[in-house]
Amino acid sequence: MQAMPWVLLVASVVGAAFTFNAFRPSRRWQTQGVSFFAGWLTGELALFHLVWQLAAATVLVALGALDAWPGLVGLGVSIGSWAGLVWLQIGALRSARVMEQALQEGLGPDYRAEIAPGLAERMASRPSRFQLLLPFYLRDRRVERVRSIQYAPGAGRRHRLDVYRPRAGVEGAPVLLQIHGGAWVIGDKGQQGLPLMLHLAARGWVCVANNYRLSPRAKFPDHLVDCKLALRWVREHVAEYGGNPDFVVVTGGSAGGHLSALVALTANDPAYQPGFEETDTAVSACVPFYGVYDLVDLFGRHGGPARGAARFERMVMGTTLAEDQAAFERASPIAHVSEDAPPFFVVHGSRDNLVPVGQARRFVAALRARSREPVLYAEVPGASHAFEIFHSIRTAYAVLGVERFLAWLYSAYRARHPEAPAEPVRDIAS
């Protein structure tokens, strides 16, 4: 048992390192990936980390860890780490206020009064305790998932999508198109956006999640073309699954945030619709999470050493910024901002160490300077990249905020289109 004091010291230092990293994630390209994963799980699951650290310390103290000075030092380090974890959780609770502030600033202080009664009654008022206790349980008995529908006949296996809809049945429901992230080189339709899709589908939405071709085999704009092909499928077939093809909101995170913003800002651009130029690819709104909006800025200022940046540039773009800056500009949502942009709700974490939060700030400023539609921005305090992939208190408040934005939008749509079903979902079990 003489080793117990040292075991407590080592365990305490490791736990404290995770806590510190959640506050100050590394932005150095050599370590940012490891730092992201450690900070992501710690920041979003702070109370879970607090429980395991308390449990480990209790066992070690019972085994005599405080019989020597290393154990006493370790306990002091642990107490500091625990205080940090509590502070992380308090920061996560601030997300509710930030989301509501973004909604009031973008839509007006009385925006809730403009939400149609039927939609307002269906909205959730608070996070689910069940989801907070089981953060990785990404299912909902009220939701049916129709898997792997081919959305581009004769195309490859990546041209498939899933549909999430109320199990009770639905007709003429609003539609959400979810585009996954993964740095344009990895990712799958069943891995991301699930808390938002399950929440909305349980309340009367039809949600569609698509795959697309990945780099290095695919080069931009192949990814964007595929997402527009998925949108074409929505236009032509989503009514068969209970959706309204005339009201489609696009969303996605990271690379999916980049692609969803491009889908919204390049509506009906024939350059990105080869062979289906006549398809209407306009969307009703866009909700990008922690997206990349300016590739020139990202690689020019934040790309790290030229060797590492050039390798990634060639994988996704097929060229480098130095060789063809115009190609990077065309692939940047910020370069496509215009007065015809649809409503946007941009969401980004303040501690994102993979995509600098400055990307979102500049993109929002550009949208607000040009767009005639509402532009909302929520800078989620303490949030890392990919913060809303699983359930957490921060995820819950982000989902509830986005739900209110979408309910406001759909209420305005119904006011303009009285023929739209007032209550598309037939029955919702709570």
Give the single-character DSSP code of 170.
Answer: B
Extended beta strands in 97-182, E state = 143-150, 160-166, 173-179
Residue 32's H or E segment, with its range, is helix 32-44
Our answer to whether residue 269 is catalytic in this structure is no
Q: Among the options 35, 95, 254, 284, which is catalytic? A: 254
Our answer to whether residue 385 is catalytic in this structure is yes
Q: Among the options 199, 336, 385, 391, which is catalytic? A: 385
What is the distance between the terminal CA atoms of the chain, rounded to a whole angstrom? Answer: 53
Pairing of strands 344-349, 173-179: unpaired
Q: Among the options 140, 352, 384, 391, which is catalytic? A: 352
Helix, strand, coil shares of the chain, percent, nearest 5, are: 50, 15, 35
* Tokens of residue 98, six digits: 């930030």
Q: Residues 302, 307, 312, 315: is their CA dihedral positive or negative?
A: positive
In DSSP terms, 144 is beta-bridged to 165
Our answer to whether residue 246 is catalytic in this structure is no
Q: How far apart are CA 281 and CA 227, in angstroms?
A: 10
Give the single-character DSSP code of 233.
Answer: H
Active site residues: 254, 352, 385
